[in-house]
Amino acid sequence: GQQVMQIPQYQHVQEGEDFTTYCNSSTTLSNIQWYKQRPGGHPVFLIQLVKSGEVKKQKRLTFQFGEAKKNSSLHITATQTTDVGTYFCAGPNAGNMLTFGGGTRLMVKP
Amino acid sequence: KAGVTQTPRYLIKTRGQQVTLSCSPISGHRSVSWYQQTPGQGLQFLFEYFSETQRNKGNFPGRFSGRQFSNSRSEMNVSTLELGDSALYLCASSLQSWDDTQYFGPGTRLTVL
């Protein structure tokens, strides 16, 4: 079945440093969604990418969808302590369900 | 608009018991999906309901079941609880489709002793 892998699993950064998480699917995706889950919280939708090669920005966050629509990345510029949490990517699979990646847990040292 | 609500927020049960969790979606949302979140397995899809019908089902045993009511509220039931069922159970609602933006509730933390 489809697999969605995310790397790294954990990332410690100093406040102000950049951060990137990568998402790779074993199959081509029609779209990819990104979610953020704060410690003790629930996943919150960030963005959806649909087009091949698409790039979207939300303030300090930049999301990319690969040309082959099998990979995606989330880049945060100049991290802040409010960026702490786990970032998940998710893509639809042939079984009509969203498959979530394992997530990247971001920790920011002030 | 009120968000997705789930009750109860915390639950402690013993092996062999059964449990029912409840989810109220965002008003106007007709699709409700359930997910199990554990540290080891991450977020795993349980099932999705739309118009009182189960549309999609993940790879979970038959002990896990659910239903949806005419007002889109949904319940999930787990029978004959096992220790491995301890998890955060998240409900998510979306407008129409299982691959629309998922709006998650706060979850029910189930502990099986």
Residue-by-residue pLDDT tens, chain A, 110 positions? 778 999 999 999 999 999 999 999 999 999 999 999 999 999 999 999 999 999 999 999 999 999 999 999 999 999 999 999 999 999 988 777 889 999 999 999 99
Q: Which of A5, A3, A7, A15 is nearest to A104 (CA)?
A: A7
Mind telling me how many Å the CA of A60 is from chain B's nearest CA?
21
**Phi and psi, residue A43, nearest 5°:** -60, 140
**A41 secondary structure, DSSP code:** S
- Shortest distance between the Cα of B61 and any Cα of chain A, in A, equals 16
| Interchain proximity A43–B48, CB inside 8 Å | no
Query: Which chain A residues contact residue B98 at CB under 8 A?
Result: 92, 96-98
Residue B45 in contact with residue A99, Cβ under 8 Å? Answer: yes
Residue B96 banded pLDDT, cuts 50, 70, 90: confident
CB pair distance less than 8 Å for B43 and A43: yes
Say whether residue B103 is in contact with chain A using an 8 A CB cutoff. Answer: yes
Cis peptide upstream of residue B8 (ω within 30 degrees of 0)? yes
Q: Residue B16 class from Cβ within 10 Å (0-12 exposed, 13-18 middle, 19+ buried)?
A: exposed
Pairing of strands A19-25, A71-76: antiparallel
**In the sheet where B64-68 sits, what is the strand order?**
B5-7, B19-24, B74-78, B64-68
- Provide, as residue numbers in chain B, all residues whose Cβ is less than 8 Å from the Cβ of A95: 56, 58
Chain B hits for A43, Cβ within 8 Å: 43, 90, 92, 102, 104
pLDDT tens-digit profile of B16-70?
A: 999 999 999 999 999 999 999 998 888 999 999 999 999 999 999 999 999 999 9
By Cβ distance, the residue of B55, B98, B104 closest to A43 is B104
Q: Taking CB atoms and an 8 Å cutoff, what residues of chain B touch A98?
A: 33, 45, 98-99, 102
Residue from the list A42, A88, A97 with its beta carbon closest to the beta carbon of B98: A97
